[in-house]
Each structure stands twice: as C-alpha cells, then as structure tokens.
Amino acid sequence: MTISLLKNVSAVKTSTFLRNSTIALLTLSSVFTITAHGSDNEINVYSARKEALILPLLEKFTKQTGIEVNLVTGKADALLQRLRAEGKRSPADVFITVDAGRLYRAKAAGVLQPISDSSLDTKVPAHLKDKDDYWYALSQRARVIFYALDRVKPAELSSYEDLTAAKWKNRICIRSSNNIYNQSLVASMIEVNGVEKTQDWLNNLINSFARPPVGGDRDQLKAAAAGQCDLAIANTYYFGHMINSNKTDEREAAAKLGLFWPNQGDGARGAHVNVSGIGVTKSSSNKEAAIQLIHFLLSDESQTWYAEVNNEYPVVEGIAFPKALKKYGTFKADSLNLTVLGENNRQAVEMMDKAGWK
C-alpha cells in the first residue's frame, strides 16, 4: 500500500491520484480541491482527529474491504465551516470529530444525515449516540478530578458540585471557558441540576481557581504536579498519555497525581463523559460504504486499538480499558444522552461568561 502526504498543492484530482495511492492524506493548511468520487469503492473522510489517531485504522479498513479512502484532517471548527461552505456539493462522505457539542453543531448546521441501522443501535449505548441517529460515538473520555498525592486525600473529594467548597478556594487548575470540554461539562450540569443551581455553582467556582485559566489539559495536570494548584480538571486520556509519555517530565508529573472519579455515590449522576464521534454527511454519494466504515470503527479490533493507542475508553461493551488507566478501576459514568451537551451549549457559554470565567 502506498500512502502519500500532499502539501501546498493547488489542485488535486482524486480520480487521477488514487490510481497510484490507496489513501490520500490532505491537510487543511494546503490549498486543494477534492473532486467527488466516481466509484462505489471509494469514500472521502473529513476528520478532526489527528492523522496518527485515524490513519492506521483506515489502512486496515481499506485492506479488509477494498474501499479506498481519501482523508482530510484539520481543526474541528474549520472542517465544519468547510462542510457548510461546500453544502450539497461537498465530496465528504464522513465527518469525524471530538466532543458531543461539536457533533451537535454539525447536526444543527444540516451537514449530516440520519442513519437507520439496528445493529449500530444494538452496539452503541443509547446515551452515546445522537437521539435522532445523526451520529454515533467511537470512543469515550471522562472529564474528572486529579489531585496532588502529597497535598490532597481522596476522602476530601466527592463531586463536581463540591469543588466550590471553601476548602478548595484558590486550589484548582482548569482551562478556559472557551474550551468545549468545559462547556460540555457545564451543559451537562445544567441538564442535571438546573439553570439556577448551575449559575450559583459557576459564580462560586471561579473563587476556587488557583490562577487565571491558561493552557490545555496537560498544562493543568503539570501545574498541579508542580504545586501551582492542588486539583486539576482534565480528560482522562491526557493523563494516560502522560503516564506513557517519552518525556521524563510528563511521566514524573503524572506520578505525583491521583485520579478521582466524582459523583459515584448511590443516586449520583456519575462521572461526566464525552466522546469522539462519527456521522455520515448529507452530501454523501456513497452512504453504504460510509456506514460500513462506522461498523468497522466500532469493531472489537478498532475499539481495542483506540484504547491502547489513545488511552480512550471503548464505546462497545466488553472491550478492555486502556492499560495505563486500568489501575484506577471501573467507574460509574453519567448516562445522560450526550445530545443535550450541544443543546445546552449556548446557555452554558452565556452562564460561564456571566460568572466571569475567562
């Protein structure tokens, strides 16, 4: 199999290029045109997942099915903007992105189409897919509490709601309100606790911040390890990456932290989870092959690969947890249908702004 990476290309005709390559990698930083495919044996994928986290699976898919794949990778918002601009003429068959909030935006923008497939509905739990069948989750990540082992005891922790307690004043690191992972967490709290209680929680949460929000999830974890704060809110897969990192400082930082599953008691909602997910575009001219790809990405082999390579939790029941995170055990996950994360997003952002979360 020949794989080529094209950069700074003014125009690419896939019908010509694919005679010599099974999978064409194209980046949004390039200026290029993808023509609509002319074969039932070919699909175009727009993916907000990085090349290394999707390409090996697409290679296996092509090898098993003979279906050729054109892969376009880029930032989630830029890809969605591109889909909207291309409209019904878009060559894309599949859209892959991270966070249920972004998947909802794609649905609301009218660039996806519903899928009717009973076997997918059986395989993917109802809360991990769009309630109207516009997208399905491919992997899960939990957004939980990490604590400094030398300064915090697990018995001191309990829930997301408790993060506003006086004992946590000036002790928490968390990234900005512009981050969709935080927006989705707040959106879930609106659904569970209501607007008034969530606004009160937000108003008080900013008093728990150890510093103005800056950086990504890894930066919050490193700051907690370095003593800049005692707690950090982050997605579990970032922690898994640090445990397995080839960078000494990241491994050492991870070793100083513990992972706490919040909201685990009887009657509690469970830890907040989010997903990477996939949908078939409204413009797709090869819906059958697109759905075939979804089935492949939800196969035991693909689900195991995601867990091992990206430290994400599988969607399909019975697949082993990521090795790096196994020591932290099983947990109760929130069973809220993730469609509401998108439905409540705008209100969540407005409430975060009102609270002064920068």
Tens-place pLDDT, residues 60-97: 999 999 999 999 999 999 999 999 999 999 999 999 99
For 25, 181, 293, the CA distances from 273, given in Å and listed in that order, are 30, 10, 24
Q: What is the predicted pLDDT for the residue at 15? A: 30
Tens-place pLDDT, residues 304-316: 999 999 999 999 9
Reply yes or no on whether the pLDDT at 52 is more than 60.
yes
Q: What is the predicted pLDDT for the residue at 36? A: 55
Q: What is the predicted pLDDT for the residue at 253? A: 98
Is 120 in the same domain as 228? no
Q: What is the predicted pLDDT for the residue at 277? A: 97
Q: What is the predicted pLDDT for the residue at 342? A: 96
Q: How many domains does the chain have?
A: 2
Is 71 in the same domain as 202? no
Is 33 in the same domain as 67? yes
Is 285 in the same domain as 152? no
* CATH number of the domain within which 250 lies: 3.40.190.10
Band of the pLDDT at 188, cuts 50, 70, 90?
Answer: very high
Is 186 in the same domain as 304? no
Reply yes or no on whether the pLDDT at 117 is more than 70.
yes
Tell which residue, 349, 339, 179, 147, has the closest CA to residue 262: 147
Reply yes or no on whether the pLDDT at 331 is more than 90.
yes
Is 47 in the same domain as 168? no
Token pair, residue 270, equals 């469970």
Token pair, residue 32, equals 């290029």
Is 155 in the same domain as 203? yes
For 85, 114, 235, 292, 322, the CA distances from 218, given in Å and listed in that order, are 34, 35, 9, 35, 18
Name the least confident of 24-33, 112-121, 230-239. 24-33
Question: DSSP string of 304-334?
Answer: HHHHHHH-PEESSTTPPPPGGGGGG---PBP
Tens-place pLDDT, residues 242-259: 999 999 999 999 999 999
Reply yes or no on whether the pLDDT at 6 is more than 90.
no
Q: The domain containing residue 202 runs over which residues? A: 142-271+328-355
The average pLDDT across 13-24 equals: 33
Reply yes or no on whether the pLDDT at 3 is more than 70.
no
Q: Helices (H) and strands (E) in the chain — how many of each?
A: 14, 12
Tens-place pLDDT, residues 267-310: 999 999 999 999 999 999 999 999 999 999 999 999 999 999 99
Is 189 in the same domain as 242? yes
Reply yes or no on whether the pLDDT at 317 is more than 90.
yes
Residue 263: count other Cβ atoms within 10 Å of its Cβ.
21
* Higher-confidence position of 27 and 117: 117
Reply yes or no on whether the pLDDT at 26 is more than 80.
no
Is 128 in the same domain as 248? no
Instruction: Classify strands 273-281 and 23-27 as parallel, antiparallel or unpaired.
Output: unpaired
Band of the pLDDT at 37, cuts 50, 70, 90?
Answer: low
Q: What is the predicted pLDDT for the residue at 34? A: 54
Token pair, residue 52, equals 């290394």
Reply yes or no on whether the pLDDT at 138 is more than 90.
yes
The three-state secondary structure class of 40 is coil
Decide: pTM greater than 0.85. Answer: yes
The average pLDDT across 172-185 equals: 97
Is 108 in the same domain as 27? yes
Is 108 in the same domain as 164? no
Q: What is the mean pLDDT of the chain?
A: 90
Is 12 in the same domain as 117? yes
